[in-house]
Structure 1
Amino acid sequence: MRSHALLPSTLLLLGSLFLTAACANGSGLPDPAPEPVQAGPSSSTSRTVDPSKIKGLEIVNDSSEQSSCPFAISYPDVPGAEAMTAAMKKDVDRLVASFRSNRCGTGSLSAGELNVSHRFLVASGDVLGVLLTTVDGSGAGNGQSTSTYWYDGEDGAYRHALGLIADGSRDAFTAALKKQLRGREGVDPTYLDDAFADTTHRADLLDDLSFTADGGLRVQLDSGTVGASAAGSYVVSLDKATITPWLSSFGRRAQKQTEQPSSGLDLGAPSTPSAAVPTHTASADDDTDCKRVKCIALTFDDGPAAPETATLLNHLARYRARATFFTVGQNVAAHPELVRAEAKAGHEVGNHSWNHPDLTKLTPEQVAYQLGRTSTAIKAATGKAPTLFRPPYGAVNAKVKASTTLSPVLWDVDTEDWKYRDSAKVAQAVISKARRNSVVLMHDIHPTSVAAVPELLRTLTTEGFHFVTVSHLRATL
């Protein structure tokens, strides 16, 4: 599968522990605020981690454009933390397989998509922490769940979230969580007792633990674990003084690196040269007159991806071809240097949302957040905000259009390159379907799609086609 390519809540402060009940929001996707809103003087959020500072980082991406089987997954691959990457891959592969079994091929278009997105919790010293958020519309309830993954560079080992807590302290830790959950609105006493009764299942129940910026610990329990699914998820936060005595040695290092991040991440991985970022520079504005010559717009979704996008830029430069890249915000954050290279070479950079959800299933505020956050990242990388967006899965309606000033872009030539990982087949799909003023859909996260580009450029150039951006095509028709 490897392709290189929460909500309003009420804080209840009880001694040194406070609990936030997070209610489901219908879409199952994060609310417009990056972090759940927490009231009260003791609330604290996690620190922001800049993924572009992680040397050698690659993002594992995969997606489907099939309306009856829509999914998009994304998780990081960090040099030195291969065991953690393998754990994420195993879990994500299982989710995709289950989704395909339950949802795909049923003919039903009413269920939602599968979306797995990532966020770095800490990447400092010898500690790496990642949060994966999953929304699975094929099951009951809101389908949202979260898990954290940890890597201990000192021991060279992947750590489950519960590994932050010392073995001898786990009974006291879970007893404190249970005490604070009991009696809360929506918590079912039977669910609660059953959930914590079997210590062998603790790791499954307590799989989302992360530190706040002030050293406290945040524990999120998925909906349906301690109450009915409709009650939503619960967040229990413990302040630093309470949690510190219960931490394992790794937990204390993770706490320290979250509170006081060092200047970099060192997991002991061999130093490898970073892939070269293309330096192609557009000599001037494109003066192609699409009223007089045959034009075609190649578009590439879901990137940027390292090293695939860099390879693609080199292919395009050899034919002086311009293209439009519809980028995903979380990938822009990881590889802003590739987005800068796209713009510098005269290509157009468009918006493809932050983490590839079906925008028609979101509230107007969520749509605005998905697109606005991505536009901000693109502008930070290139100095210019995008004017176009491509809705994931091509799903767009009046609500989505009204939630943004960006102009939507669909396509008339679908290579289905996400389905067919065959460069010859992808190239032939473009060559056989290309018409004057066509907009072609491809993905630069797939090596096979990138490998198809030289052949289609060579063939269509001999047929008299000129390769332009979407905005240029629109402006000159």
Structure 2
Amino acid sequence: MPRLRLLGGIALLAVSATGCGMAAAAPDREATVPAEPTRIDFVDPATVAGLAPRTLTEGESAGRHVHISYPELPGAARLNALLRQEAERELRDFHDTTSAVDSLPRPELNVDWQLAAAGDVVGVRLRTGEYRGADWGNATRTFWYDRHTGRATGSAGLLAGTDALREVSRLVRNGLKERGPDVDRDQVSAERGKLDSMAFNADGDLVVEFDDCQIGPCSLGRLAVAVPAAKVTPLLSPTGLRAQQSVRESARQVARAAYTPKRSVPAAASGRAGTVDCAAVKCVALTFDDGPGPYTAELLDVLREAGARATFFPVGSGVAAEPELLRRMRDEGHLVGNHTWDHRDLSRLPTSKIADQLGRAGDAVAAAIGQRPTLVRAPYGEVSLDVRNVARERKLSLVGWDVDSRDRQGGDPAEIAARTVRQAHPGAIVLMHDLDRTAVDAVPGILEELQGKGYAFVTVPELYGTAGMQAGRVYTSGIGPSRKEPLT
């Protein structure tokens, strides 16, 4: 993948990637390239038993904004290792080429994922976005794992060798002819790393994607070519043939499934709300961001044993992958909020993309638990006027914090617990994360110490009692709403 030229950007849908494609009045006969064939229908991760999201982040107080997410799949050790290595490489490269800063805006790295296939062959599409002081830019890579051979590979592994890769490159160049002189077709070649994001559409056509600004001006947006199945099938490797068949079969199953119309869902609420009067009792609201993570189930065990409630702000892509953990949160009296779809800094986005981030995440939570979240925590606590306006339109209250456990900075669990207890006060909103072992290990100490001092652990809305919370307002503690922006 070439280094991103940080100009322009594209928008992707939760279940498909569509673009302007290669629509033309008279497309080349060797490559049918209208807009629709470049659509990739992604697999619902909740249908893949044992799949778990994994995350690398650096916390709200770090000098860079970093959120990297990738899946871990059962029985796919080599793919898991490849994805982990890729995530670590992305983070290392970002550190090597940016400087941590105390002022805003901070450099930002965001990596999210989708499943391009999940049958005998698994395809994982990683999308990297970076902000280095100019504009946002995106790049994609798609990795493949063949359960028959146990081999993990990049997109070139779908093709039967170098000659096949050269032929696909030629077909793609032909498909780009109608885009005019702005597209540099000479950049399309069989050279290593040039065609690193390839997947199949529902018809078995090979969709070849390019990074922002990789082969033409950023103003062109997403560029992708669909090479027809009839042309590409003879060029596929055994892994590629199995991947193509897997995607086709998945598409047939989806087409046969009965359509279920959307129904309205109630607002999210704790099933135990109202059992504590925070006007008479010292209350604290523990909040956990960025999950679900590998230790979320254990955290829920700890909270249940202590009779404590918490507010969770999971990332939408993780919700889609592990809805059963969200249902457990609901059933045990916790409250589930909205932490956007993939943890982008909302303050840098136009209102349409802010709405998309909140809408997709809210839909994922509603699908998982049958309740729609009414609270949102902005990633990194960055809130702009546009964020507040969109939240107001969507009837969402913004939740900040006034006690930062700093659990993302590592350290001993006892130190995290002591730091949190020291800052706690009636009405405090405590920022924590359910991704790390040390953070979860600190929770028993926090619960024991504060319960010993007469504190009750409640969900955020319970701090405000009958006064409630207003949409579009920023709440940083139970003392009352704050107008300060951004959240710190």
Q: TM-score range by the shorter chain?
A: 0.7 to 0.9
TM superposition score normalised by structure 2: 0.82
TM-superposed deviation, 1:84? 1.6
CA–CA distance in 2 between the matches of 1:89 and 1:260? 29
* Contact kept? 2:279, 2:465, Cα under 8 Å: no
Instruction: Tell me which residue corresponds to 1:35.
Output: none
* Contact kept? 2:31, 2:228, Cα under 8 Å: yes
Q: 2:194 aligns with which of 183, 205, 214?
A: 205
CA 331–285 in structure 1, closer or farther in 2 if over 3 Å, else same: same
Instruction: Tell me which residue corresponds to 2:355.
Output: 368
Q: 1:336 aligns with which of 307, 323, 326?
A: 323
The two structures, once aligned, show a CA RMSD in angstroms of 2.3
CA–CA distance in 2 between the matches of 1:188 and 1:45? 20
CA 194–129 in structure 1, closer or farther in 2 if over 3 Å, else same: closer
In the alignment, structure 1 residue 237 sits paired with structure 2 residue 226: yes
* Contact kept? 2:158, 2:239, Cα under 8 Å: yes
CA 114–44 in structure 1, closer or farther in 2 if over 3 Å, else same: closer
TM-superposed deviation, 1:45? 2.7
Alignment of 1:448-463 (within 5 A): 448-463=438-453
* Contact kept? 2:172, 2:188, Cα under 8 Å: no
* Contact kept? 1:354, 1:370, Cα under 8 Å: yes
CA 225–415 in structure 1, closer or farther in 2 if over 3 Å, else same: same
Of 335-344 and 76-85, deviating more is: 76-85
CA–CA distance in 2 between the matches of 1:441 and 1:302? 11
Letter in 1 for 2:224: V
TM-superposed deviation, 1:287? 1.9
* Contact kept? 2:188, 2:195, Cα under 8 Å: no
CA–CA distance in 2 between the matches of 1:284 and 1:142? 43
Instruction: Tell me which residue corresponds to 2:396.
Output: 406
In the alignment, structure 1 residue 46 sits paired with structure 2 residue 40: yes
Instruction: Tell me which residue corresponds to 2:70.
Output: 75
Letter in 2 for 1:128: V
* Contact kept? 1:295, 1:467, Cα under 8 Å: yes
Of 165-174 and 98-107, deviating more is: 98-107
What are structure 1's unaligned runs of at least 5 residues?
A: 1-5, 21-37, 265-281
* Contact kept? 1:141, 1:229, Cα under 8 Å: no
Alignment of 1:142-157 (within 5 A): 142-157=136-151
What are structure 2's unaligned runs of at least 5 residues?
A: 1-9, 12-18, 254-269, 467-477, 479-488
- CA deviations 1:264-320 (Å, max 9, x no partner) are 9xxxxxxxxxxxxxxxxx9854421111111000000011123x1111111111111
Alignment of 1:430-441 (within 5 A): 430-441=420-431
Letter in 1 for 2:404: D
Instruction: Tell me which residue corresponds to 2:279.
Output: 291
CA–CA distance in 2 between the matches of 1:452 and 1:421? 10
Instruction: Tell me which residue corresponds to 1:268.
Output: none
- CA deviations 1:137-177 (Å, max 9, x no partner) are 12766431000010011011102101111114222211111
2:40 match: secondary structure: coil
CA–CA distance in 1 between the matches of 2:411 and 2:319? 24
* Contact kept? 1:330, 1:354, Cα under 8 Å: yes
In the alignment, structure 1 residue 251 sits paired with structure 2 residue 235: no
* Contact kept? 1:99, 1:138, Cα under 8 Å: no
* Contact kept? 2:434, 2:440, Cα under 8 Å: yes
Instruction: Tell me which residue corresponds to 2:127.
Output: 133
CA–CA distance in 2 between the matches of 1:67 and 1:19? 44
- CA deviations 1:354-393 (Å, max 9, x no partner) are 1100011112111111111111111111111111000000
Alignment of 1:207-222 (within 5 A): 207-222=196-211
2:291 match: secondary structure: coil
TM-superposed deviation, 1:43? 3.2
1:203 match: secondary structure: coil
In the alignment, structure 1 residue 160 sits paired with structure 2 residue 133: no
Letter in 2 for 1:236: V
TM-superposed deviation, 1:52? 1.9
CA 185–89 in structure 1, closer or farther in 2 if over 3 Å, else same: farther
Alignment of 1:346-385 (within 5 A): 346-385=333-372
Instruction: Tell me which residue corresponds to 2:90.
Output: 95
Give % identity. 37
CA 474–226 in structure 1, closer or farther in 2 if over 3 Å, else same: same
Q: 1:312 aligns with which of 269, 288, 299?
A: 299
CA–CA distance in 2 between the matches of 1:399 and 1:283? 32
CA–CA distance in 2 between the matches of 1:177 and 1:263? 27
CA 147–475 in structure 1, closer or farther in 2 if over 3 Å, else same: same
